[in-house]
Structure 1
Amino acid sequence: MANLSALCLDHVVLLLPYTMLSDPPSWLTDIFTISPGGRHADEKTENRLVLFKEGTYLELIAFINDDPEKRRGHWWDKPYGVVDYAFTTSKLDYDGIVDRLKKSGTEISYEKPKAGGRTTPDGKELKWEVTFPTGVDRGHVPFFCTDVTPRERRVPVTEQNTTHPSGVLGMAGMTLEVEKDSLDRIVKATAAILDQPPPTKEHQVKVDVPSDVEKLHQASISVRETGALLRKSLALSLRLQTADHEKREAIWEPIEDGAVSLIFE
């Protein structure tokens, strides 16, 4: 059973073209076991899941049929790649988080939770509440996904679906590359969300995962200054942990005007 008494890293969102969702490329299938997902309640997006042993997952998501009308105005109307990430907990302390953020002076906060959900391929309805940030573009700080139906329905972890060709065991966390003038603000806000003091040396805060898994170190959210050649206000990379002694080569896969960045530790 997941231990969700505190905020935990829940999932990371990887936006792909619809054709890649229905027929994933070899650079995904050679690394991951891909599980079924479903269609979201807003009828705009579909997903498939890459599930990990410690209860986190990578959400492969696409706009249905790449329909520009479904994409227009959506919070993930972004270039392809890693676009967002979520925390979860058994009971969200919304007021506490908003209060800590107010005291942080970052002018970042959160909307009230609202209903979300999707239907699985076998017809099961999943329900949750999502809580989205304000005062900042999506992806700079996490959103929250709090289950209404049992979490194991949304995250059906089994030995089979969490055994990956690459030997990946779970998430090491996220790396956010932001513009220099946003660096301290995003670090402060992330620490406030997790009820931690802002880090004094490295721009990194630790975060729990739903379940303990042997050989995995604690996950973290790392923030660093955008490289001069990147020319983006935000770039997200997912860091993954493997059981191998040797690191796998990172994946950098350009897709149209975006790119997928996956790092193995």
Structure 2
Amino acid sequence: MAFQLDHVVLLVPYDYLANPPSWITDNFTLSPGGRHGDNKTENRLVLFRDGTYLEIIAFINDDPENRRGHWWDRPYGVVDYALTAAQPIDYDALIKRLEKSGTGIAYAEPKSGGRMTDGKEIRWNVTFPPGPDRGKVPFFCEDVTDRQWRVPITERNTTHPCGALGMAGILSEVKKEDLDRLSTANAAAVDSPQQSSHRYEIGTPKAVSQLKKPAIRLQEALKGSDRSLFLNLILQTGRRESSRPIYEVVDGGVVSILFE
């Protein structure tokens, strides 16, 4: 099974959806999103030419009741990421691979999800690891309605001031004692042999000639870090020179977007 990077989830305050700060608008072209079916979260999108996208998501009105018990009740920043596939995903095989990995990480059965955009109901199926393990391994997203409805790629909406054409992947910073276990779990999730480099290549929904394959990467967190998990999004421009990283502190959370 050839898995593809689908999208990355960036949690922000609700006001950012209507009034995005300059670090967003100076770097990205924003596309419409919508309100999710649970009426707890809403989003806007940053779409890329490789068919991936950054989901800028917020709890509606920053209501604590919407956050309570939600899997993304976390500090602001990159909180999760999803994979998809060109062919139907064999979830029984996925669950068995995780069971055999001995990591204690599992996946639930697929469940339906959706949102309304411009009066159109967009539907998909998702499968998640249990709440505490969200973000440690990817979740999976498969379209029920036409993918172009959820990811409406055009030349205009994928042209960004920062020059980003697609995603180079996710960099997970984890505590030293968790590195091998989570690396094993990610290898099982994407059905890849475990590598000493803790790096697992995946594909993208669309091929872009200037871009290399994205990867899930894990590394030991810097000493002194008080988080068990910190996610960085890595983008690529296809240019020789890298753009300046985006590093923003948002109400105690940190947004980290790197370029290569």
Matched, 1:235 2:233: no
Moved more, 56-65 or 88-97: 88-97
Partners of 1:109 and 1:135 within 8 A in 2: no
Q: Which residue of 2 aligns with 1:226?
A: 221
Matched, 1:67 2:67: no
1:135 CA displacement = 8.1
Provide the C-alpha distance between the structure 2 equivalents of 1:177 and 1:118, rounded to a whole number of angstroms: 31
1:191 CA displacement = 0.9
Moved more, 180-189 or 34-43: 180-189
Q: Which residue of 2 aligns with 1:28?
A: 24
Matching residue's letter, 1:209:
T
Matching residue's letter, 2:146:
P
Residue 185 of structure 1 aligns to a residue whose secondary structure is helix
State the Cα deviation string for residues 135-179 of structure 1 (Å, max 9, x = none). 852100001111111111100000110011111000000000011
Distance 1:69 1:136, change over 3 A: closer
Partners of 1:172 and 1:219 within 8 A in 2: yes
Matching residue's letter, 2:111:
K
State the Cα deviation string for residues 195-215 of structure 1 (Å, max 9, x = none). 111003x11111111111011
Residue 217 of structure 2 aligns to a residue whose secondary structure is strand
Provide the C-alpha distance between the structure 2 equivalents of 1:243 and 1:31, rounded to a whole number of angstroms: 16
Moved more, 54-63 or 134-143: 134-143
State the Cα deviation string for residues 84-113 of structure 1 (Å, max 9, x = none). 000112412101111111111112110000
Provide the C-alpha distance between the structure 1 equivalents of 2:44 and 2:103, rounded to a whole number of angstroms: 34
Q: How does 1:64-103 map to 2 (within 5 A)?
A: 64-89=60-85, 90-103=87-100
Partners of 2:168 and 2:236 within 8 A in 1: yes
Q: Which residue of 1 aligns with 2:240?
A: 245
Runs of 5+ consecutive residues of structure 1 not aligned to the other structure = none
Partners of 1:13 and 1:58 within 8 A in 2: yes
Matched, 1:194 2:190: yes
Provide the C-alpha distance between the structure 2 equivalents of 1:98 and 1:82, rounded to a whole number of angstroms: 25
1:6 CA displacement = 2.6
Moved more, 54-63 or 104-113: 104-113
Matched, 1:108 2:95: no
Provide the C-alpha distance between the structure 1 equivalents of 2:224 and 2:103, rounded to a whole number of angstroms: 27
1:226 CA displacement = 1.1
Moved over 4 A (4+): none
Partners of 1:56 and 1:209 within 8 A in 2: yes
Q: How does 1:1-265 map to 2 (within 5 A)?
A: 6-89=2-85, 90-120=87-117, 122-134=118-130, 136-200=132-196, 202-265=197-260
Residue 253 of structure 1 aligns to a residue whose secondary structure is strand
Provide the C-alpha distance between the structure 1 equivalents of 2:126 and 2:239, rounded to a whole number of angstroms: 35
Runs of 5+ consecutive residues of structure 2 not aligned to the other structure = none
How many residues are paired up?
A: 259
1:245 CA displacement = 2.0
Provide the C-alpha distance between the structure 2 equivalents of 1:135 and 1:248, rounded to a whole number of angstroms: 34
- Give percent identity, aligned residues only: 59
1:134 CA displacement = 3.1
1:78 CA displacement = 0.3
Provide the C-alpha distance between the structure 2 equivalents of 1:234 and 1:65, rounded to a whole number of angstroms: 26
Residue 133 of structure 2 aligns to a residue whose secondary structure is coil
Q: How large is the Cα RMSD of the aligned pairs?
A: 1.1
Provide the C-alpha distance between the structure 2 equivalents of 1:134 and 1:119, rounded to a whole number of angstroms: 26
TM-score by length of 1: 0.95
Partners of 1:108 and 1:136 within 8 A in 2: no
